[in-house]
Protein backbone atom coordinates (compact mmCIF):
# COMPACT_ATOMS: atom_id res chain seq x y z
CA UNK A 1 0.00 0.00 0.00
CA UNK A 2 1.25 3.48 -0.86
CA UNK A 3 1.67 5.81 2.13
CA UNK A 4 -0.13 9.06 1.34
CA UNK A 5 0.68 10.71 4.67
CA UNK A 6 3.70 10.00 6.88
CA UNK A 7 4.25 11.80 10.13
CA UNK A 8 7.07 11.31 12.59
CA UNK A 9 8.16 12.83 15.87
CA UNK A 10 5.59 15.63 15.75
CA UNK A 11 5.52 17.80 18.86
CA UNK A 12 3.65 21.03 19.58
CA UNK A 13 3.65 23.14 22.69
CA UNK A 14 1.02 25.81 23.45
CA UNK A 15 1.40 28.26 26.34
CA UNK A 16 3.86 26.03 28.18
CA UNK A 17 1.85 22.83 27.70
CA UNK A 18 2.99 19.96 25.48
CA UNK A 19 -0.24 19.33 23.56
CA UNK A 20 1.30 16.87 21.08
CA UNK A 21 4.27 14.67 22.04
CA UNK A 22 6.30 12.75 19.49
CA UNK A 23 3.30 11.89 17.32
CA UNK A 24 3.86 9.46 14.47
CA UNK A 25 1.32 8.04 12.05
CA UNK A 26 0.88 6.81 8.50
CA UNK A 27 -2.13 6.84 6.24
CA UNK A 28 -2.15 4.43 3.34
CA UNK A 29 -4.08 4.71 0.11
CA UNK A 30 -7.59 3.30 0.61
CA UNK A 31 -7.74 3.95 4.35
CA UNK A 32 -10.39 5.73 6.36
CA UNK A 33 -8.85 6.31 9.78
CA UNK A 34 -10.53 7.95 12.76
CA UNK A 35 -8.84 9.99 15.45
CA UNK A 36 -10.58 10.08 18.80
CA UNK A 37 -9.68 11.84 22.00
CA UNK A 38 -11.30 13.90 24.69
CA UNK A 39 -12.26 17.48 24.01
CA UNK A 40 -9.06 19.51 24.17
CA UNK A 41 -6.82 16.47 23.61
CA UNK A 42 -5.23 17.99 20.50
CA UNK A 43 -7.13 16.53 17.54
CA UNK A 44 -7.68 19.85 15.77
CA UNK A 45 -4.14 20.95 16.64
CA UNK A 46 -2.81 17.80 14.97
CA UNK A 47 -4.95 18.31 11.86
CA UNK A 48 -3.68 21.91 11.61
CA UNK A 49 -0.08 20.66 11.62
CA UNK A 50 -0.83 18.01 9.00
CA UNK A 51 -2.53 20.59 6.79
CA UNK A 52 0.39 22.99 7.07
CA UNK A 53 -1.77 25.63 8.80
CA UNK A 54 0.54 25.45 11.83
CA UNK A 55 4.19 24.51 12.27
CA UNK A 56 5.43 21.83 14.69
CA UNK A 57 8.13 22.53 17.27
CA UNK A 58 9.68 19.23 16.19
CA UNK A 59 8.95 16.48 13.71
CA UNK A 60 8.03 16.16 10.06
CA UNK A 61 4.99 15.71 7.85
CA UNK A 62 5.23 14.16 4.43
CA UNK A 63 2.28 14.16 2.05
CA UNK A 64 2.04 11.87 -0.97
CA UNK A 65 5.25 12.21 -2.98
CA UNK A 66 5.96 15.82 -2.01
CA UNK A 67 9.25 16.56 -0.18
CA UNK A 68 8.86 16.58 3.63
CA UNK A 69 7.73 19.95 4.95
CA UNK A 70 6.38 21.08 1.58
CA UNK A 71 2.90 22.62 2.00
CA UNK A 72 0.50 20.52 -0.07
CA UNK A 73 -1.45 22.08 -2.93
CA UNK A 74 -5.19 22.01 -2.28
CA UNK A 75 -5.61 19.50 -5.10
CA UNK A 76 -3.44 17.02 -3.14
CA UNK A 77 -4.86 17.64 0.32
CA UNK A 78 -8.33 18.86 1.24
CA UNK A 79 -9.36 20.03 4.68
CA UNK A 80 -12.90 19.92 6.01
CA UNK A 81 -12.93 22.25 9.02
CA UNK A 82 -15.49 22.29 11.82
CA UNK A 83 -16.62 25.69 10.54
CA UNK A 84 -17.23 24.32 6.97
CA UNK A 85 -15.83 27.37 5.12
CA UNK A 86 -18.58 27.49 2.48
CA UNK A 87 -18.73 30.48 0.14
CA UNK A 88 -22.00 32.29 0.90
CA UNK A 89 -22.34 33.95 -2.49
CA UNK A 90 -22.19 30.66 -4.40
CA UNK A 91 -25.04 28.14 -4.70
CA UNK A 92 -24.57 24.75 -3.09
CA UNK A 93 -23.71 23.09 -6.39
CA UNK A 94 -21.25 25.88 -7.23
CA UNK A 95 -19.61 25.44 -3.83
CA UNK A 96 -19.19 21.72 -4.44
CA UNK A 97 -18.05 22.21 -8.04
CA UNK A 98 -15.44 24.82 -7.11
CA UNK A 99 -12.48 22.48 -6.38
CA UNK A 100 -13.03 20.79 -9.74
CA UNK A 101 -13.33 24.11 -11.59
CA UNK A 102 -10.22 25.55 -9.88
CA UNK A 103 -8.45 22.35 -10.95
CA UNK A 104 -9.30 23.03 -14.59
CA UNK A 105 -12.31 20.71 -14.84
CA UNK A 106 -15.11 21.28 -17.35
CA UNK A 107 -18.13 23.15 -16.05
CA UNK A 108 -20.71 20.59 -17.17
CA UNK A 109 -18.80 17.70 -15.61
CA UNK A 110 -18.08 19.61 -12.39
CA UNK A 111 -21.73 20.60 -11.97
CA UNK A 112 -22.89 17.05 -12.73
CA UNK A 113 -20.52 15.59 -10.13
CA UNK A 114 -21.59 18.25 -7.62
CA UNK A 115 -25.24 17.32 -8.15
CA UNK A 116 -24.43 13.64 -7.82
CA UNK A 117 -22.50 14.13 -4.56
CA UNK A 118 -25.23 16.31 -3.06
CA UNK A 119 -27.81 13.69 -4.11
CA UNK A 120 -25.80 10.95 -2.41
CA UNK A 121 -25.94 12.99 0.78
CA UNK A 122 -29.71 13.41 0.53
CA UNK A 123 -29.81 17.07 -0.54
CA UNK A 124 -30.00 16.72 -4.32
CA UNK A 125 -33.12 18.92 -4.31
CA UNK A 126 -31.27 21.90 -2.79
CA UNK A 127 -28.54 22.40 -5.39
CA UNK A 128 -29.64 25.95 -6.38
CA UNK A 129 -29.95 27.23 -2.81
CA UNK A 130 -27.31 29.30 -1.02
CA UNK A 131 -25.57 28.31 2.24
CA UNK A 132 -27.58 30.95 4.13
CA UNK A 133 -30.84 29.24 3.09
CA UNK A 134 -30.22 25.79 4.56
CA UNK A 135 -29.80 24.14 7.97
CA UNK A 136 -26.47 23.56 9.69
CA UNK A 137 -26.61 19.80 9.06
CA UNK A 138 -27.29 20.49 5.38
CA UNK A 139 -24.35 22.90 5.29
CA UNK A 140 -22.16 20.21 6.82
CA UNK A 141 -23.14 17.83 4.02
CA UNK A 142 -22.33 20.44 1.37
CA UNK A 143 -18.90 20.92 2.95
CA UNK A 144 -18.33 17.15 2.91
CA UNK A 145 -19.35 16.92 -0.75
CA UNK A 146 -17.00 19.77 -1.62
CA UNK A 147 -14.13 18.18 0.34
CA UNK A 148 -14.21 14.99 -1.75
CA UNK A 149 -15.26 16.62 -5.04
CA UNK A 150 -11.76 17.32 -6.35
CA UNK A 151 -10.58 13.80 -5.48
CA UNK A 152 -7.67 14.98 -3.27
CA UNK A 153 -5.17 12.26 -2.32
CA UNK A 154 -5.60 13.08 1.38
CA UNK A 155 -8.63 14.45 3.19
CA UNK A 156 -8.41 15.76 6.75
CA UNK A 157 -11.88 16.11 8.26
CA UNK A 158 -12.70 17.65 11.63
CA UNK A 159 -15.96 16.33 13.09
CA UNK A 160 -17.66 15.93 9.68
CA UNK A 161 -20.81 14.30 11.13
CA UNK A 162 -21.30 16.47 14.23
CA UNK A 163 -24.62 17.94 13.03
CA UNK A 164 -26.05 14.86 11.30
CA UNK A 165 -28.75 12.39 12.35
CA UNK A 166 -28.19 8.65 12.34
CA UNK A 167 -29.50 7.97 8.81
CA UNK A 168 -27.53 10.86 7.35
CA UNK A 169 -24.34 9.76 9.10
CA UNK A 170 -24.75 6.48 7.24
CA UNK A 171 -24.80 8.37 3.90
CA UNK A 172 -21.72 10.37 4.92
CA UNK A 173 -19.78 7.25 5.96
CA UNK A 174 -20.60 5.50 2.70
CA UNK A 175 -19.42 8.53 0.75
CA UNK A 176 -16.13 8.61 2.68
CA UNK A 177 -15.57 4.86 2.22
CA UNK A 178 -16.18 5.13 -1.54
CA UNK A 179 -13.90 8.17 -1.67
CA UNK A 180 -10.92 6.35 -0.12
CA UNK A 181 -11.67 3.27 -2.19
CA UNK A 182 -10.94 5.30 -5.32
CA UNK A 183 -7.30 5.81 -4.24
CA UNK A 184 -7.32 8.42 -1.48
CA UNK A 185 -6.88 8.40 2.30
CA UNK A 186 -8.87 10.16 4.98
CA UNK A 187 -8.13 11.05 8.60
CA UNK A 188 -11.21 12.06 10.58
CA UNK A 189 -11.19 13.64 14.01
CA UNK A 190 -14.49 12.56 15.51
CA UNK A 191 -16.57 11.75 18.57
CA UNK A 192 -19.01 9.76 16.41
CA UNK A 193 -19.20 6.05 17.36
CA UNK A 194 -20.86 5.06 14.06
CA UNK A 195 -18.11 6.59 12.00
CA UNK A 196 -15.43 5.16 14.28
CA UNK A 197 -16.92 1.65 14.10
CA UNK A 198 -16.84 1.64 10.31
CA UNK A 199 -13.34 3.06 9.82
CA UNK A 200 -10.51 0.81 8.67
CA UNK A 201 -8.36 1.86 11.65
CA UNK A 202 -8.78 3.90 14.83
CA UNK A 203 -6.25 6.16 16.49
CA UNK A 204 -6.53 7.86 19.86
CA UNK A 205 -4.84 10.84 21.43
CA UNK A 206 -4.24 10.59 25.17
CA UNK A 207 -2.00 13.02 27.06
CA UNK A 208 -0.51 14.23 23.79
CA UNK A 209 0.49 10.76 22.59
CA UNK A 210 -1.09 8.85 19.73
CA UNK A 211 -1.81 5.14 19.75
CA UNK A 212 -3.81 2.61 17.79
CA UNK A 213 -7.17 1.57 19.29
CA UNK A 214 -7.34 -2.22 19.19
N1 LIG B 1 -3.36 28.46 18.99
C2 LIG B 1 -3.42 27.98 20.23
N3 LIG B 1 -2.94 28.66 21.26
C4 LIG B 1 -2.96 28.19 22.52
N5 LIG B 1 -3.50 26.98 22.84
C6 LIG B 1 -4.00 26.25 21.83
C7 LIG B 1 -4.01 26.70 20.50
N8 LIG B 1 -4.59 25.74 19.72
C9 LIG B 1 -4.94 24.75 20.56
N10 LIG B 1 -4.59 25.04 21.81
C11 LIG B 1 -4.80 24.19 22.99
O12 LIG B 1 -4.41 22.89 22.63
C13 LIG B 1 -5.30 21.93 23.21
C14 LIG B 1 -5.88 21.07 22.14
O15 LIG B 1 -6.85 21.80 21.39
P16 LIG B 1 -7.60 21.17 20.16
O17 LIG B 1 -8.47 22.22 19.60
O18 LIG B 1 -6.62 20.51 19.27
O19 LIG B 1 -8.51 20.05 20.89
P20 LIG B 1 -9.52 18.99 20.26
O21 LIG B 1 -9.07 17.62 20.66
O22 LIG B 1 -9.67 19.26 18.80
O23 LIG B 1 -10.86 19.36 21.05
P24 LIG B 1 -12.42 19.28 20.60
O25 LIG B 1 -12.80 17.83 20.57
O26 LIG B 1 -13.09 20.03 21.73
O27 LIG B 1 -12.57 19.99 19.28
C28 LIG B 1 -6.33 22.71 24.02
O29 LIG B 1 -5.94 22.72 25.37
C30 LIG B 1 -6.26 24.08 23.42
O31 LIG B 1 -6.59 25.07 24.34
Mean pLDDT across the stretch 149-162? 96
22 Rama class: left (phi>0) / alpha (psi -120 to 50) / beta: left
Q: What's the mean pLDDT in 76-97?
A: 95
Q: What does the pLDDT look like over 106-143, one tens digit per residue?
A: 999 999 999 999 999 999 999 999 999 999 999 999 99
Q: How many angstroms separate the alpha carbon of residue 8 from the centre of ligand 1?
A: 20
Q: Report the complex ipTM.
A: 0.96
- What gap in Å lies between CA 93 and CA 110, rounded to an integer? 9
Q: For residue 73, how far is its CA from the centre of ligand 1 (angstroms)?
A: 25
Percent of all residues in the chain with a pLDDT value above 90, rounded to a whole number: 90
Tell me: pLDDT of 155 over 90.
yes
pLDDT at res. 92: 98
Task: Give 2 Cα–ligand 1 centroid separation in angstroms.
Answer: 31
- Nearest protein Cα to ligand 1, atom 3: 14
- Which atom of ligand 1 sits closest to the CA of residue 48? 18
Nearest residue CA, atom 5 of ligand 1? 14
Q: What is the DSSP string of the chain?
A: --EEEEEEEEEEEETTEEEEEEEEEEEETT-EEEEE--TTSSHHHHHHHHHTSS--SEEEEEETTSPTTPPPPTTTEEEE-TT----TTS-HHHHHHHHHHHTT--HHHHHHHHHHHHHHTT-GGGTTS-GGGS-HHHHHHHHHHHHHHT--SEEEEESTTTT--HHHHHHHHHHHHHHHHTT-EEEEE---HHHHHHSSEEEEEETTEEEE--
Give the pLDDT confidence score for residue 74 in this predicted structure: 75
Nearest Cα to 20, choosing from 203, 214, 165? 203
Hey, whose CA ends up nearest to atom 8 of ligand 1?
45
The pLDDT score that the predictor gives to residue 214 is 78
d(CA 110, CA 131): 19
pLDDT band at 93 (very low <50, low <70, confident <90, very high): very high
Q: How many CB atoms lie within 10 A of CB 52?
A: 15
**Distance of alpha carbon 211 from alpha carbon 3, whole angstroms:** 18
In this predicted structure, what is the pLDDT of residue 86?
A: 96
pLDDT 10s digits, 195-214: 999 999 999 999 999 999 97
**Separation of CA 189 and ligand 1 centre (Å):** 13
How many Cα atoms occupy the beta-carbon half-sphere of 24 within 13 Å?
3
Confidence (pLDDT) at 117: 98
Tell me the mean pLDDT in the region 15-44: 96
Ligand 1 atom having least distance to the Cα of 82: 27
Q: Do 95 and 146 touch, CB atoms closer than 8 A?
A: yes
**pTM for the full predicted model:** 0.94
pLDDT at 213: 94
183 pairs with which residues across the strands? Answer: none
pLDDT beyond 80 at 71: no
pLDDT, position 65:
82
Going by pLDDT thresholds of 50, 70 and 90, the confidence category of residue 68 is confident
The matching CATH number, chosen from 1.20.1420.20, 3.40.50.12780, 3.30.70.1710, 3.40.50.300, for 3-86+151-212 is 3.40.50.300
Atom of ligand 1 nearest to the CA of 42: 18
What dihedral do alpha carbons 104, 32, 77, 54 form, nearest 10°?
A: 160
pLDDT, mean over the chain:
95
Residues touching ligand 1 (Cβ under 6 Å) are 14-15, 19, 37, 39-45
Question: If you average pLDDT over residues 136-154, what whole number do you get?
Answer: 97
Whose alpha carbon is nearest atom 4 of ligand 1? 14
Amino acid sequence: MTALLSVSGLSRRFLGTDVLKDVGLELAEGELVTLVGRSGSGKSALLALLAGFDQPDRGSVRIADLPAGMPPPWSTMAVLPQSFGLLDELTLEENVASPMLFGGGRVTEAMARAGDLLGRLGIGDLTRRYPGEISIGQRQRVALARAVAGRPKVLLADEPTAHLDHATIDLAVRLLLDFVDEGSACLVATHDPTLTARAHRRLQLIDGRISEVQ
